[in-house]
């Protein structure tokens, strides 16, 4: 009789353990490869760009750039689950701008800023510009880019990188500025397409053709 009771208790315990194990298990969520790529905008003129990194060793993940409200940032972040998630403030800049980007609808995205707003954007085609100007820095420094051209995209606050897509020539004033806390770095010169252009920190340039400008700091 004792053996029978022990056997029944063992069976009941096994059933209980099996039931508990089943209740704790979570369904597996299928992780899909991220495919939303290109430019996404909304009716308020907010713009987010998403492109796969072409240098996975140095910059793994996806490049996510945004121009939303007064914020303008862009950097590489990884895919986490079925979303892109991370800080899109570049490593060489102070501050944080953590975002989560998820698929929405057939071709849209949900762009969520940690501690901030949420934006609903749809895939959009950007008219191909006839003039593409890349402005960057070498070393620890920044620059501003200001223009009086109608609907010009400007950077009144210092940035370290900027891409201008122009449909007609425009005049810009570029000003190289030092980074706070990096007094050891000094502006040396501007280069254009790899060639020395000017040793003046402030230059006024008419962008009539595609070019690469770099503010060099040493």
> Which pLDDT score is estimated for 167?
86
> Which pLDDT score is estimated for 76?
92
pLDDT in tens, the chain (218 residues): 333 333 322 233 333 433 444 445 556 668 899 999 999 999 998 999 999 988 888 889 999 999 899 888 889 999 999 999 999 988 777 789 999 999 999 999 999 999 999 999 999 987 667 888 989 888 889 999 999 988 888 889 998 888 888 889 999 999 999 988 887 899 999 999 999 999 999 999 999 999 999 999 99
| Under 8 Å between Cβ of 146 and 172 | yes
- Listed residue (88, 80, 83, 101) closest to 161, CA to CA: 88
Residue 2, classed as helix, strand or coil, is: helix
- Listed residue (136, 142, 135) closest to 180, CA to CA: 142
Distance in angstroms (rounded) separating the CA atoms of residues 90 and 179: 14
> Which pLDDT score is estimated for 18?
38
> Which pLDDT score is estimated for 6?
31
Beta carbons within 8 Å of 97's beta carbon, 6+ residues apart = 71, 73, 87, 88, 89, 113
| Under 8 Å between Cβ of 202 and 124 | no
Q: Give the CB-side neighbour count of residue 172, counting CA atoms within 13 A.
A: 27
> Which pLDDT score is estimated for 215?
94
Distance in angstroms (rounded) separating the CA atoms of residues 94 and 149: 30
Kindly state the DSSP code that residue 34 receives in the 8-state scheme.
P
Per DSSP (E only), the strands in 4-87 are 38-41, 47-52, 62-68, 71-77, 79-80, 83-87
> Which pLDDT score is estimated for 19?
42
| Under 8 Å between Cβ of 62 and 33 | no
Residue in the structure block whose two tokens are 């004792």: 2
> Which pLDDT score is estimated for 13?
32
> Which pLDDT score is estimated for 57?
86
> Which pLDDT score is estimated for 7?
30
Residue 24, classed as helix, strand or coil, is: helix
């Amino acid at each position: 009789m004792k053996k029978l009771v022990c056997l029944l208790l063992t069976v009941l315990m096994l059933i209980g353990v099996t039931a508990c194990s089943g209740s704790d298990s979570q369904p597996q969520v299928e992780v899909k490869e991220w495919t939303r790529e290109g430019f996404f905008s909304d009716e308020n003129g907010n713009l987010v760009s998403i492109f796969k990194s072409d240098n996975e060793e140095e910059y793994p993940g996806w490049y996510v750039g945004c121009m939303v409200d007064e914020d303008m940032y862009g950097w590489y972040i990884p895919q986490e689950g079925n979303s892109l998630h991370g800080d899109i403030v570049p490593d060489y800049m102070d501050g944080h701008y953590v975002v989560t980007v998820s698929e929405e609808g057939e071709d849209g995205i949900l762009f969520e800023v940690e501690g901030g707003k949420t934006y609903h954007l749809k895939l959009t085609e950007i008219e191909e510009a006839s003039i593409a100007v890349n402005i960057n820095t070498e070393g620890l420094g920044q620059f501003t880019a200001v223009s009086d051209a109608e609907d010009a995209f400007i950077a009144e606050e210092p940035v370290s990188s900027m891409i201008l897509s122009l449909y007609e020539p425009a005049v810009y004033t570029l000003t190289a500025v030092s980074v706070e806390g990096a007094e050891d770095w000094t502006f040396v010169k501007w280069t254009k397409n790899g060639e020395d252009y000017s040793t003046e920190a402030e230059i006024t340039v008419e962008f009539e053709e595609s070019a690469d400008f770099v503010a060099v700091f040493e």
